[in-house]
Amino acid sequence: MPTRASDGRTATLPQVDVARVLAMGAIFVFHLWSVVPDGVVSPSASLALRHGYLGVVVFDVITGLVLAWPHVGPARRPLLGWGTFLRRRFLRIVPAYYLALGLWVVVAALAALLRIGDGRAPSVASVVTHGLFLHTLSPTDFFAVVPAYWWLGLLAQLYLAFPLLLRFQRAAGPWPAVAAVCTVSWGSWLLLDAMARARPHSAVALVNYMSYYNLPYRLPEFAIGVGLASVLGPEDDARSPSLAPAPAAALLGACALVALLPTRGLASLVHVRLVALCVAAFVVLLALPVAARAGRGTLVRRLAAASYGFYLVHQPLLGYGSDVLAAVLGPRGRFWVLLLGAGWLALRSAVWLDRLAARAMARRGRPRYA
């Protein structure tokens, strides 16, 4: 995601590319862990793998930072009109998403005919709600087709919220705005979570469960990324922005205080603590010069560029691959074959998917936006 430095030169965010690669790797091993039986890896490794889903939290923070950086960083670009902004962002994600969605709908239908996996083809309603980015609002559709695609519904909501959030943070100040967003979003979640705990089989419990995958509960992660963009300053060469020591120390202190909060058994408070840990790790990464150097490497840049396509294809490859391999390999063998084989195939498929999407856009005379 290139931006423009104040002197007109190209500025990049290499640390963010490192974070993107690490987050995608964490999500991949989480979904790998989810399709192999217990006991394949040690208990400590299993504990680490099952928390890989937190890579999504890092992606939410990254999304806020990257969207805000051109407007609050050295370039200080004026904010685009809402329609123009949304058109550019959706043109960036829709082509590859629709191609992948169509592919996995066909594969799921064939798998149902061949009785592979759960034997169910996605309904027309599920496909339509996915195409409209509304599936996270439907209890029957949000995990259909590809369960990992719930994040695409949340991403669409974040895009819709970004212009309003950026204007709010400009008016109130970056960190007062973040504090307000966290208080309102997480405060309402805590209240509903407590009500759901008292009535676990009620409509309130269902709303609380579904709200985990939607705004406003997930807005603080995004808002923190927008706030970070405002304190991310360029290094001497103005081409590798880094986080200054004072803001980094303040943010790490705030994260430490939040991480010490008692959870009282409430999912909302558990999530808030985990977000604090993710943000702390991300802040450390932004502040480390070694992360900037690593992010300039060719391998990291290529992996980061493929991360979106990788996300779109990796979970079905792991799921269907596990079902097919179960007939010929034991759990441990499946784990290693999927780790290496599905990982490599997902990378190759991500590159192919991105190229195909770019060609589809080029034929329509439309650019691919970074």
In DSSP notation, 63-98 reads HHHHHHHHHHSTT-PPPPPHHHHHHHHHHHHHHHHH
Average pLDDT over residues 135-147: 92
pLDDT the model gives residue 345: 96
Average pLDDT over residues 175-189: 95
Vertex 186 angle, CA 183 and 190, to 5°: 120
* Pair type for strands 242-243 and 10-11: unpaired
Average pLDDT over residues 143-157: 95
Amino acid code (one letter) for 18: V
Contact 322, 35 (CB under 8 A): yes
Residue 364's pLDDT band, with cuts at 50, 70 and 90, is low
CA 97 to chain centre: 14
Instruction: List the end-to-end C-alpha distance of the chain, in Å, as a whole number.
Output: 5
Looking at mean pLDDT, say which of 74-78, 121-125, 157-161 comes out highest.
157-161
Q: What is the mean pLDDT of the chain?
A: 88
* Token representation of residue 331: 């759990």
* Token representation of residue 215: 């705004």
Is it the case that residue 32 has pLDDT exceeding 70? yes
Please give the model's pTM, rounded to 2 decimal places.
Answer: 0.91
pLDDT the model gives residue 12: 65
pLDDT tens for 34-75 read: 998 777 888 888 888 999 999 999 999 999 999 999 898 777
The CA-atom distances, in angstroms, between 217 and each of 25, 193, 264 are 24, 11, 18
Residue 203's pLDDT band, with cuts at 50, 70 and 90, is very high
Average pLDDT over residues 249-259: 90
**Helices and strands (DSSP H and E) totals, the chain:** 16, 4
pLDDT the model gives residue 156: 97
Residue 168's pLDDT band, with cuts at 50, 70 and 90, is very high
pLDDT the model gives residue 370: 46
DSSP-derived secondary structure for 241-253: -EE-HHHHHHHHH
Is it the case that residue 241 has pLDDT exceeding 70? no
Say which DSSP state 148 is in. G
